[in-house]
Amino acid sequence: MPAPNLSARAGRWSASHWKRATIGWLLFVVGAVALGSIVGINSLSQADMASGETSIAEHILAAADFQRPATESVLIQSRTQTADQFEPVISEVRRVLSAQKYVANIQTPFLSPARLVSRDGHSALVQFDITGDRETAKDKVQPILDAIAAVQRAHPAMEVAEFGPASANHVQAKTFSEDLVRAERLSIPITLLILWLAFGALVAAGLPVVLAFSAVLAATGISEVVSHLLPAADATKSVILLVGMAVGIDYSLFYLRRVREERAAGLEPDQGLRRAAATSGQAVLISGATVLIAMAGMLFAGNGIFTSIATGTMLVVFVALIGSLSVLPALLHKLGDRVEKGSIPFIRRVRPPAGGSRFWRAVLRPALRHPAAAFVLSVGALAAAAVPVLGMHTKLPSFTDLPHSLTIVRTYQHIQQAFPGSQTPAEVVVKGANVTTPAFQRAYAEGRRRALATGQLYEPFYTFVSRDKTVVRIEFAIAGNGDNSASIRALQTLRHDVVAPIAKTLPGATVAVTGQTAGTHDFNETMKQRAPLVFAFVLGLAFLLLLFTFRSIVIPITTILLNLLSVGAAYGILILVFQQGHLQGLLGYRSNGAIAAWLPLFLFVILFGLSMDYHVFILSRIKELVDRGIPTSQAVEQGILRTAGTVTSAAIVMVAVFAIFAGLRELDIKQMGFGLAVAVLIDATIVRAVLLPSTMKLLGKWNWYLPRRLAWLPTLRFGEITPTPAHNPKEPPRLGGALPGAS
């Protein structure tokens, strides 16, 4: 009899040493959390998050020996009065700001050469700097916001409100933190309730939740340690929670369901556990490896944000995988039939048989009886859903994507209307041996003249020089709202018609443009360049893994194509809803006409990994049955029916957790949650119940075709059985003929 596979050996060891496995896991989780709390998190800097020319400019600024203070603006606006009439309010704002500890360099309309009064005269700005570095300014801004709010209360007939990078980052961080806490509070009880209904027993439902959440805690702690080598993005923690709960519950669910199925078939507890370890455990191992490959694809995106997210997700998937293959069988061995404690009598009575429910038999029947029609209709529907992808537009997330009910978002809009482009300025960064020489001064003057002549770049111009006179930063307003086509055209004009000719007159100097518009544009361009590399890496390694797993060249090809179709349909629906603005009222958001720039690539790797989770689990069950000599068409039906309950439960959990994130306030997180929920729903219904069975039914024994020159590939077995050799004819059988086992 062949030696047991890796997952079987892991399950057997854990069951035999359940105390070591359980205590070891607890010590690992506690140690990881404690270590992460001690060392803290090292966040990505602005320079590390940037791409392209923006990255060059940001790194020059980061290395320069002058601080970049956060410049804030206080808007004073009246519908009936002009600035000279409400000058006492302007003076009051100045006095209030002068009393603040971290305020410096106050500029008012009547004491500053800059244009701080709107063209119609009804709006004025008081600008000031928050002392220290702009990265930490958000932690100092709350007392200033409170002081300005007091002035507003004293003058209710006018608008007196603050806006700037520090106040925006402060509100955004607060909103994100509150939303994340809400997601954590909701995801665990909702998941537990769904699993309790699915299993009909509280202990069985609690095991996947506890293991998944412990994996999230451990991975979060480890990621904080790793952040001192690879700085962490703000989104990494929420992605760890999202992916960790999803895959952690999935893996435990696959394992636990198989144990119960084997027990229902009459096996003793230890025998059922060993069979589950050798079958579902092996499927979990392959699924986890596939997800890890998908997540690793983000390392090739060429951006610090993706590197951080990739590192975090790989950590949590790996930790969840280890927990599912070690501590889960240990706990199942110790609990035995006590895993059924806390049962719901009604749910236990209506539980479908192991062979599959009548519902799923009814769903599968049309696809298996009319596979060609089912294939054409399902592919057509998914392809139609994917059509909007052709018009995808992306932008980097910003504070403007927060709910428009927030005061700071309304303040930004009012400032943007009165002072176009002032809050999303372009920044030209120049580095040289001495940036204050006459040659440089002439270049700045010529650049200013050219900029104003374009009609797309506006005053006021602010110039900041480093103390060692090697770096200068010139800041000015740009057309548009910072993200739209007008801003992109203005950026291209700035770079090609203004900066490029001036840079030629400064030999030895480095000139680069940064700012919100430049950041979005350069990020999008980098993603376009890097996306083919990420796709090739993920698809290539997934193909090889599936080739080795199933010893078939057809299975990897069909699996990848079906998953790509599923991902494309999810993209299309995401664009319909968020870019084109459908369902704004239902989902509680206001469309910005774009998809978050980081989301398409992120969704591809996440969705591909999660889709492969289901696919590998189902295919491994089908392959197990085929290896026992069951004809392919029967194996397809039985394999899908026997995994229906597990996959349905896992899909419901995922959709529920992702839907929680779709209900959060930040638009990019809302888009992420919605996109993931839709994709899982498509994958667990149309793909799994219609497209997969119809495709495999049409292919018949072609599913297992392996060219002779690849016969050397090793066999990965799904179960403690001796596999029946797969059909491997010299010439593949014709699809039009009657194939043995094809019907």
Output the 3-class SS for 570-583.
HHHHHHHHHHCCCC
DSSP H helical ranges for 404-515: 407-418, 438-454, 485-493, 500-503
Contact 663, 650 (CB under 8 A): no
pLDDT band at 78 (very low <50, low <70, confident <90, very high): very high
Measure the CA–CA gap between 264 and 267, rounded to whole angstroms.
Answer: 7
Looking at residue 154, what is its pLDDT?
94
Measure the CA–CA gap between 129 and 105, rounded to whole angstroms.
Answer: 6
Looking at residue 727, what is its pLDDT?
40
Looking at residue 26, what is its pLDDT?
94
The separation between CA 463 and the C-alpha centre of its own chain, rounded to angstroms, equals: 38
If you average pLDDT over residues 489-511, what whole number do you get?
Answer: 92
Residue 393 has pLDDT above 80, yes or no: yes
CA nearest to 600, candidates 580, 577, 576, 570:
570
Location of structure tokens 């809302």: 670
If you average pLDDT over residues 255-270, what whole number do you get?
Answer: 77
If you average pLDDT over residues 358-373, what whole number do you get?
Answer: 84
The three-class DSSP label of residue 681 is helix
Residue 134 has pLDDT above 80, yes or no: no
Residue 351 has pLDDT above 80, yes or no: no
**Dihedral of alpha carbons 88, 91, 95, 100, sign:** positive
pLDDT band at 404 (very low <50, low <70, confident <90, very high): confident
Written as six digits, the tokens of 584 are 């704004």
Measure the CA–CA gap between 697 and 558, rounded to whole angstroms.
Answer: 12
Distant-in-sequence, close-in-space partners of 178: CB < 8 Å, separation ≥ 6: none
> Which tens digits make up the pLDDT trace of 171-203?
888 887 888 788 778 888 888 888 887 777 788
The three-class DSSP label of residue 362 is helix
Residue 235 has pLDDT above 50, yes or no: yes
Looking at residue 373, what is its pLDDT?
93
pLDDT band at 613 (very low <50, low <70, confident <90, very high): confident
pLDDT band at 728 (very low <50, low <70, confident <90, very high): very low
Distant-in-sequence, close-in-space partners of 388: CB < 8 Å, separation ≥ 6: 571, 572, 573, 575, 576, 579, 580
Distant-in-sequence, close-in-space partners of 718: CB < 8 Å, separation ≥ 6: 278, 279, 282, 283, 620, 621, 623, 624, 627
> Which tens digits make up the pLDDT trace of 28-54?
999 999 999 999 888 888 788 888 999
Looking at residue 678, what is its pLDDT?
92
Residue 2 has pLDDT above 80, yes or no: no
Cα Rg, the chain, nearest whole Å: 30
**Which amino acid, one-letter code, is at 652?**
I
Location of structure tokens 């090609």: 496
Measure the CA–CA gap between 265 and 354, rounded to whole angstroms.
Answer: 8
Q: What is the 3-state secondary structure (H, E, C) of 171-229?
A: HHHHHHHHHHHHHHHHHHHHHHHHHHHHHCEHHHHHHHHHHHHHHHHHHHHHHHHHCCC
When mean pLDDT is compared across 31-45, 138-152, 711-725, the lowest value belongs to: 711-725
Looking at residue 128, what is its pLDDT?
93
pLDDT band at 55 (very low <50, low <70, confident <90, very high): very high
pLDDT band at 379 (very low <50, low <70, confident <90, very high): very high
Distant-in-sequence, close-in-space partners of 547: CB < 8 Å, separation ≥ 6: 553, 555, 556, 710, 713
Measure the CA–CA gap between 519 and 521, rounded to whole angstroms.
Answer: 6
Where does residue 13 rank: exposed (0-12), middle (13-18), buried (19+ CB within 10 A)?
A: middle
Beta strands in 96-168 (DSSP E): 103-107, 123-130, 159-163
CA nearest to 460, candidates 152, 713, 158, 125:
125
> Which tens digits make up the pLDDT trace of 540-564?
988 888 888 888 899 899 988 988 8
Peptide bond into 231 cis (omega under 30): no
Residue 641 has pLDDT above 90, yes or no: no
Measure the CA–CA gap between 282 and 622, rounded to whole angstroms.
Answer: 13
Measure the CA–CA gap between 13 and 371, rounded to whole angstroms.
Answer: 44
CA nearest to 629, candidates 553, 701, 693, 696:
701
When mean pLDDT is compared across 107-116, 280-289, 705-714, the lowest value belongs to: 107-116
Looking at residue 3, what is its pLDDT?
60
Measured CA distances, 412 to 15, 120, 135, 139 (Å)? 60, 18, 20, 20
The three-class DSSP label of residue 163 is strand
Measure the CA–CA gap between 500 and 108, rounded to whole angstroms.
Answer: 34
CA nearest to 313, candidates 596, 35, 601, 652:
601
If you average pLDDT over residues 300-312, what whole number do you get?
Answer: 90
Residue 576 has pLDDT above 80, yes or no: yes
Measure the CA–CA gap between 534 and 531, rounded to whole angstroms.
Answer: 5
For the beta carbon of residue 442, count every other beta carbon within 10 angstroms. Answer: 13
To 5 degrees, how large is the angle CA 707–CA 712–CA 713? Answer: 85
Residue 358 has pLDDT above 70, yes or no: yes
- Which range is most confident: 17-21, 144-148, 587-591? 144-148
Measure the CA–CA gap between 567 and 559, rounded to whole angstroms.
Answer: 12
> Which tens digits make up the pLDDT trace of 408-457?
888 888 888 888 766 678 999 999 999 999 999 999 999 999 999 999 99
Measure the CA–CA gap between 403 and 590, rounded to whole angstroms.
Answer: 7
Residue 335 has pLDDT above 90, yes or no: no
For the beta carbon of residue 297, count every other beta carbon within 10 angstroms. Answer: 27
- Which range is most confident: 66-80, 351-365, 404-418, 434-448? 434-448
The separation between CA 196 and the C-alpha centre of its own chain, rounded to angstroms, equals: 28
CA nearest to 637, candidates 648, 622, 649:
622
Looking at residue 344, what is its pLDDT?
67
Measured CA distances, 280 to 202, 266, 277, 494 (Å)? 22, 18, 6, 59
> Which tens digits make up the pLDDT trace of 473-498?
998 888 887 777 888 899 999 999 99
Looking at residue 738, what is its pLDDT?
31
Looking at residue 422, what is its pLDDT?
63
The separation between CA 413 and the C-alpha centre of its own chain, rounded to angstroms, equals: 28
Tell me what the pLDDT averaged over the chain comes to: 84
